[in-house]
Amino acid sequence: MRDEKRRYKIGEIRRRKGLTQKEVADKYGVSLTTYNKWENYFGDLPVTRAMEIVAFLSDDSMTLDDIDF
């Protein structure tokens, strides 16, 4: 059995920071519907936007590899 690093969903990280989907959507200038789709895997989240969201939501120790998109 290999030791796999825990991966986090962006919604989980957002909730741990005490933010709503609306707050994150507003920060990035997208509709709540668009952000909800990104968070729930129904929309195409651009890599550059994913990097911005991860940087905003996570602590300094997280990278894109830690996030389950």
Q: pTM surpassing 0.85?
A: no
What the block records as the tokens of 59 is: 């602590």
Whole-angstrom Cα distance, residue 25 to residue 53?
10
- The answer to whether position 35 is within a domain reads yes
State the residue range of the domain holding 25.
Answer: 10-66
17 Cβ contact list (under 8 Å, min separation 6) = 57
Q: Report pLDDT for 23.
A: 97
Residue 60 sits at the vertex; the CA angle it makes with 28 and 13, to the nearest 5 degrees, is 55
Low-confidence ranges of the chain (pLDDT < 70): 1-6, 42, 69
- The answer to whether position 2 is within a domain reads no
- The answer to whether position 1 is within a domain reads no
Q: Report pLDDT for 5.
A: 67
